Each structure stands twice: as C-alpha cells, then as structure tokens.
Homo-oligomer: A and B are copies of this chain.
Amino acid sequence: MNQPSTASRKPFRRLLLTGAAGNLGRQLRGALADWADIVRVSDIAALGEPAPHEETSVVDLADRQAVTHLVEGVDAIVHLGGISIDAPFDDLLEANIRGTYNVYEAARRHGVRRVVFASSNHAIGFHPVTEVLDADAPQRPDSLYGVTKCFGEAISRYYYDRFGIETVCLRIGSSFEEPKNPRMLVTFLSYRDFIELVRCSLFTNRVGHAIAYGASNNPVKWWDNTKAGFLGFNPRDSSVQFAERFQASAPSATRDDPAERFQGGVFVLGEPMERGR
C-alpha cells in the first residue's frame, strides 16, 4: 500500500472506497479528495497512479485477510466493490456475499462506524412499473445479482442492530453519463447526484440503518424517498433533458413482456448462469 504524501484538515481523516476502478468508483474517487485527508482506494482491477492524497490497494474482496488489512485505520467505508451485473452464482457469492461479509467483519474488528453500501434497484426489480416504492417496500430481487444485494441489506442490518455500525443502503438506479434507453429516463441518477447522495450518506451525523433510492429528479417516479428525508438528499439533475432522444410513442406491443412490466427491466429475463463456460 502506498502512502499519501500530505494530509491537510478535512472532515474525515481516512475514507475507504471499494470498487474504485468501476464506473461509479471512478466518479467518486475524485470527489472523496475534498472530504478526507487520505483516500484509500481499492479494487480487484488496476487503479492507476495514486494521487498524492491516495492510498491504492488491489484486493480481492473475497480474501478475508486482505480485506481486514484494507479496512484498518479508516473512518468510514464507501463499499461499491463486487460484481454489479448478473453473473454466475459462484462468482456473485465470492464477490458480493463473502466479500460484503468480509467488509463488515473487518469494519467491526477495526471499529469503523459507518458504511455506505451500494445496493441496487435490482433488489426490488420484480415490483411492477405501475407501483411507487418507498423504503418499506418488500425486497423483490430480479436476478441472482439482486439476491446478493438483498443479502447485503440483511447483513448490514445485522451489523447495525448488533454492533451499531451504521449503513446507508443505496438502491442505485442507472448512474451513467446519460440515459441509454427509455427505462433509464426513470431510473437515471446523474453522476453529480450520485456523488451528492454519497456525500449526504457520509456526512449526516446519524443514519442508523437506512434505505435510500438513487435517482435524479426525473419526471417519472418509481421511488419515493420521503422516509429518507433525514439524509437531506435533494437531487439537482433530471433526465428530462434527454427525453427527446427517446421519441414519445404509443404503448409498445411488448408492453406485457416482463422486461417492460417490471422495474428491473431486462434483468428479470436473466437466468442463472454457469461459471466459466
């Protein structure tokens, strides 16, 4: 692990970001510099050159010892690591189940008090598109990937009730540069709003164990964040500016297909995969 050269006075002394080489990890990596003297970034993939304030660490989250080491000395964890698409169960099990256990158990051992956990809309993707969900909506995973996110929500609840480690579970929609299809006009979370949501999750003095949906202020709403109002997340972006790309059309002939009926979109069509074939 490299060592950052200097450390000025910022709100956090040291933050850990897992999954730093992924799509969202790359977005967040820069922002964390403003919030912590030292940012420890980690991924199973290459992380590039560390900035002066950064510590980089290539770690497989399924490696308990490595994770224990990784978590040492941090004030809070933004846990984006793991597999973020559907994948063979054995892979998901290592990265998202064993990996998340390892992160929480390391947090417990080292006295870390706050985790921001990247859950996913796919934990509730089998709810129909004609329902509006709030934080109390029951889990309806739309894929094995989604099932592992339900696991993450459950284990983080346990570490909160038993050990007082707070977690905000972010049921992130579609966080990309811009919406790529009509469904994403609903689920779009701009990078700026994503970063703001993580900021609120880290800086709110007390969060308990919270569920928050991650979507920008889009015209169509499937999710109602009223019960997470104590986080102070007020998205500033909207998918409305991208709406014209997806030309208004009459309801499609395929509107009864599962991928159109359920919030999870094409995820609900996936099937369990075999590994390595």
Copy count, this protein chain: 6
| In the complex, chain A residues 221-264 whose Cβ is within 8 Å of any chain B Cβ | 221-222, 224, 226-232, 234, 247-252, 255-256, 260-261
Stretch of A21-29, A41-49, A155-163 that contacts chain B = A155-163
Residues of B within 8 A of A198 (CB): none
Residue contact B229 to A221, C-beta cutoff 8 Å? yes
Known: A93-B97, A97-B93, A101-B89. A268 touches B131 (CB 8 A): no
Partner of A108, one of B75, B114, B132, B272: B272
Residues of B within 8 A of A222 (CB): 229-230
- Name the residue of chain B whose CB is nearest to the CB of A154: B150
State A127–B141 Cα separation when bound (angstroms): 23
State A146–B155 Cα separation when bound (angstroms): 9
Residues of B within 8 A of A219 (CB): 232, 234
Residue contact A250 to B140, C-beta cutoff 8 Å? no
Q: How far is the CB of A210 from chain B (nearest CB, A)?
A: 6
State A108–B272 Cα separation when bound (angstroms): 10
Tell me the count of chain A residues lying within 8 A, CB to CB, of chain B. Answer: 75
Any B CB within 8 A of the CB of A175: no
| In the complex, chain A residues 115-147 whose Cβ is within 8 Å of any chain B Cβ | 126, 128-132, 136, 138-144, 146-147
Residues of B within 8 A of A69 (CB): none
Q: How far is the CB of A21 from chain B (nearest CB, A)?
A: 25
- Name the residue of chain B whose CB is nearest to the CB of A162: B268
Listed A/B pairs (9) with beta-carbon separation below 8 Å: A93-B93, A108-B272, A126-B162, A129-B205, A132-B229, A203-B249, A204-B251, A220-B230, A221-B226
Nearest first, the 5 A-B pairs at minimum CB distance are: A221-B229, A220-B232, A150-B154, A130-B208, A126-B161
6 new A-B contacts at CB < 8 Å, known A142-B158, A206-B251: A93-B98, A113-B251, A132-B228, A141-B157, A151-B154, A166-B251
